[in-house]
Every structure is written in structure tokens, then in C-alpha cells.
Chain A
Amino acid sequence: MPEAKVIVAKEADVEPRINEWKRFCRVFLARKIIWLALFVIALLLFTAVFGPWLAPYKPNEQNLADSMAPPSRKHLLGTDRLGIDTFSRLIYGARTALIVGVATSFTSAIVGTLLGMVAGFMGGVVNTVIMRFMDALMGFPMIVLALLLAGVLGSGMLNIIIALTVANVPGYTRLMCGMTLSVKENDYIMAQRSIGSSSFRILAKHIFPNTLQPMVVMLTTSLGGIILAEASLSFLGIGIVPPDVAWGSMVADGYKYLQTNPILSFAPGICIMLVVFSFNIIGDGLRDALDPRLRGTL
């Protein structure tokens, strides 16, 4: 290597380092509603993790003497027909919602990312086959597809996760295929090819990191949708089955007593609403904060 030339760009000449993280936080946290959503999700996480220690009763602990008790000190939100404490059931239901939501969204994200990146990168026939299949899956509304699968597979938490995953994969595949196609067009991918990088290296090191942002946004937003879908399936009775507790089945159980004891349906219903709403708000917020075109407008 020859001798060093005159240094043209010194450290001091380059603009001071822009702290992306700080900038991200500023935009993300600028909206008040984000704080509320974050609080709800934090509460969900906390109850899901520490549920057994927080809940005053076991989720299936019957006490027929206390059947249909109104809210009191003993039972914060009252009890159902079997005298099971609603508040405790809500806490255990948070656990189910989170497990199903997280497991489903991560599995479908991983599967969808792999399929989407392969389809986008290889193009041609591979792309046609994968994407047409995904289009076919997408032809069904997510809930219908999940219903169908849950019907075939039967109920239970694992089967619900599988059904919802299959229903969610097409969305991720389509996103990642599109992202890969657009990132692939950049000169830096051409540059990587010109220096002799292998296709695998290009995919893993250069395409994947550049598709992460929309991926994170989709992951968050879809969590809400998955939790809602799980609740719907449980409401219809083909989702989570006892002894597991789910908000959806709680709504279903309680709605026979809507006239006399509305809290039985309303309490889990409000929980579902708050959580889904919060995930959507956070997803929107992430998108705004991560999108460079919107950055700096707040």
C-alpha cells in the first residue's frame, strides 16, 4: 500500500454524530397516546409474567356459594356462575393472550421472512410459485382461514397458534418479498455482487438488515390483530379450552348474563379492546418514527 495522502475529511469536518436513537425516541414519544399504549402493554406484560403471584384466586377455583357475586372487597370484579373470581381469570387470560400473540407473530414473521426473501431475491418461477400460493391463502379473510384450520386441527392453545400462524404468514411474505425486491434494486447490492459476495451473504448481511424496520412495525401491529383473532376463536368456542383461560371465552361465558351481570362480559371485552388498541397505536407510532420521510415533522 502506498503512503497516506493528504487527509481531506477529518473527524471534525464531518457533521456531529446524529444520535438516531435519541431522534427516534423524540418522535416516537412525542404523542401522548403512545404513553398510554405503552402503559397498557407494560401492564399486560407484568400481569402475564407475574400472574400466579398477583391473582388472589386460582383461575378455576370454584366456589358455588359465591356464585354471581357482585364486585366486592373479596372479589374485585365479582364472580361468575361457578363462583370463580373474574379478576383472577382476567389475569390468567392476559397470559394466554400474550403467549398466543407473541408465539404466533414470531413464528409467522420468521416463516414469512424466509419465504418472502427467497421469493423476492430469486424472482422468476420461485417467486411466482410462492407468491401465488400466498395470494391464494390471502384470499380468505384471516379469521375465516383460522376458523377453518382450527376446525380441522381441533381446539387447544398449540393448534390455535398453528392456525393463526398459517393465516398470518402470507402478510409477512408479501411484505418481505416487496421489501427485498426494492432493496435489491439499490446500487449497494450491485456493489456487493461486484466485489464477489455470495448470494447468501448479500441476503443475510445486506438485504435483511435493510428490511427490518417495516418488519418491526408489522410485527407490532399484527400482535393486536392476532390477539383479537384468538379472542374471536375462543368466543366461538373453537379456541382456547379449559383449563386455559382466555378473554374470548370469558366474553362468551358472560354474555348469557349480559342483562343481569354485564361485568362478566365487559371486563374481558375491555381488556381485549385496550390491548389491541395499544398494539395498533404503538405500531403506528413506530412506523412514523422509523420512516425517514416523516421524521422531523413532529
Chain B
Amino acid sequence: MSQSNEIILKVNDLKMYFPVTRGLLRKKVAEIKAVDGVSFELKKGETLGLVGESGCGKTTVGRCVSRLYQPTGGEIIFEGEDIAALPEKDLKRIRRKVSLIFQDPYSSLDPRQSAGSIVGEPLIVHKITKDKIDYHRRVETLFQLVGLDPALMNRYPHEFSGGQRQRIGIARSLASNPSLIICDEPVSALDVSIQAQIINLLLDLKEAGETELTYIFIAHDLSVVKHISDRVAVMYLGRIVELTTPQELYENPLHPYTQALLSAVPVPDPEIEEKRERIILEGEVPSPLNPPSGCALHQRCPIAKPECREVIPPLSDRGGGHLVACIRA
């Protein structure tokens, strides 16, 4: 996979707290710490997987990076510029460079818009095309790029299947020639046999594009993330707990949560399954409204010690860029 050493995105101590308000005057009564100190770097052309269970903050990270949310704190340095606090009016040029692919192919396309006009929308918003003919040609190329017949441009979303709709969404995300695409669970709503088509398409687009594409791939399915990513970050309750290459993650998971997550995903081979060790975590993910003290996992962790309750473990390098946030590992 082509990958330069140029850093395209550097996220530093990102924090996103959502206020919980009550009453007519919207008094703030609590805070949901959806993301609480997330840092990572992304090289140009790289794919970073963000994996975790619902409520771990992976989607929020994606929405902060694309500046759909205004982060509470931290830096988001995209192509050398800190965009974390950029005001709304300066965001348009960032929106052109960072695009999103959504999870639900049904609700992410406007039902009253034709497929062609959905895909062409960014071209109009950013005034990319010179004239009608240029616009039409661009949309046509985008359709072909994602494997759709340009003859389908006048059709409406409900006429397409889930996989085809997701292709329309991908074409839209490519229209403005972005350098970073945030894929938020792009395959989890699709049927098994269609998922592979979309995963391959995303991989192919990376090699085909004129500008080098960088992906942040958000998913709860570890096997999909592992398949598509160059590096994987495992998130738990608003923090990254482990970050390394997929190979290393599978062969040498250090964080107890990663180990449990890996063991929870069954392999479609009964003979391997018979031999696999199963680590079942007790209980459920605590609420981010009231997170546990110290390491967020300590109540469920099989190897927790009393000090885990007090110290928030920092993300530290255990060699070869394998980062882990655990004082016991």
C-alpha cells in the first residue's frame, strides 16, 4: 500500500463533552464525556481503523475530525492547520478536503433527490465544475468509479438496493476530491455478501485515485477493521486503549479489553473455534455520564488490581509503535 511519511492529520488530546441540560432555561446538569483525551497521527495514504463498542466515542471522534462537532478541547491538525476551533464560516474549505461515508444507506441519502444530483451536490456547493457539461461528465465519471451505470443517474434512492445506495454515498464523498475520508461503519448495515463488494471498492479507490486517499475507518466489527486498516485503534469509553498494526493486534494483544474483544469475534472455522480461548468480560460498558474512576475497564477487567481504580493509565509505547493504555500489561 502506498504511503508517504507526510502526516496529514494529527489529533492531540481531543475532548468532546456533550452537556446534559434540563428545564426551560436549559441549565447544564451533567456532561457526557463522549471523547476524553484521544490522540493519534495519520500518515498520508494510511487507513486508521477505529474500533470499539457503541458509546465508546468512535463516531464522535470521526465527527469532530470532520468538524461536524465543535470539540470541547484539544487540537486537530489537518494538513498543518489546527481546525479544532475554526469558526463555521472558515469550515467550507475543510469540508471539501474531508468527507464522510455514513452507516445507514437508507437515511443518508435524501429520498427526494435523484442519485445523480446527490452525487453532484458537492460539485455545486464548492463550485467545482465550470458548466453543465463539465458537471455532467464529472458525475458520470464518479458513477463509473464506484461501479454504477451512469444511466442510473435519474433514478431515486428507493429504487436501489442497500449496497448500491452505499455506492452512491461513496461517490458523493469522492466528488470534491477529498484527501481524507471518514468511513463511519460503512458496511455494518449491509448483507454479508454485499459487504465484501464495498470493502473491495474502498480498497480499490485508494489505489485508483489521483490524490492519495487517507481513511479513518470506524466500525464495531474487528474483523472488518483489521482487514482494511494499516493501523487499528481500539477505543473504550472515550479513550484509545490500544493502537497498533492489525497483525500485531491479533497476534499480541496487550490490553485486556482488546483480548476480550478479539475473543468475542468468532472465526468461521469450527476447528479453530474449538481451540480458541474465550475471555468473557463481566457486566456491561459503564455509562459515559458517570464513568468509573481510574482505568475505565477496572470493574470488568480480569487482571485489575486496586491501583487500577486510581490511575488513568497513559497510552505508552511498548516497542515498534505498539501503544497500550494499561498499567498491568
Contacts and interface: CB of A to CB of B under 8 A. Distances in A.
Interface stretch (B6-14, B145-153, B234-242, B295-303): B145-153
Interface in B86-117: 91-92, 95-96, 98-100, 102-104, 107-113
Contact of A187 (B26, B102, B159, B164): B102
A149 to B, nearest CB: 29
Interface stretch (B40-48, B120-128, B304-312): B120-128
A215 to B, nearest CB: 13
A7 B148 contact: yes
Contacts of A128: 24
B60 interface: no
Given A14-B159, A194-B66, A195-B176, A187 B108 contact: yes
A165 B103 CA distance: 43
A293 to B, nearest CB: 14
Nearest to A185: B107
A206 B125 CA distance: 13
B135 interface: no
A197 B125 contact: yes
A186 to B, nearest CB: 5
A195 B147 contact: no
B164 A9 contact: yes
Contact of B125 (A5, A14, A195): A195
B108 A188 contact: yes
A194 B142 CA distance: 18
A186 B109 CA distance: 9
B289 interface: no
Given A209-B112, A210-B110, A190 B68 contact: yes
B149 A196 contact: no
A224 B131 CA distance: 48
Given A11-B151, A187-B102, A187-B107, A195 B138 contact: no
Interface residues of A, number: 33
Nearest to A18: B159
A11 B149 contact: yes
Given A2-B208, A191-B169, A14 B152 contact: yes
Contacts of A11: 149, 151-152
B147 A187 contact: no
A201 B98 CA distance: 20
Contact of B145 (A1, A188, A201): A1
Contact of A210 (B111, B164, B197): B111
A155 B313 CA distance: 77
A198 B89 CA distance: 10
13 contacts: A1-B210, A9-B164, A14-B159, A14-B164, A18-B159, A124-B26, A188-B108, A188-B110, A191-B169, A191-B172, A192-B110, A195-B172, A196-B96
Interface of A: 1-11, 14-15, 17-18, 124, 128, 186-188, 190-198, 201, 206, 209-210
Interface of B: 24, 26, 66, 68, 91-92, 95-96, 98-100, 102-104, 107-113, 121-122, 125-126, 138, 141-142, 144-149, 151-152, 155, 158-161, 164, 167, 169, 172, 175-176, 197, 204, 208-210
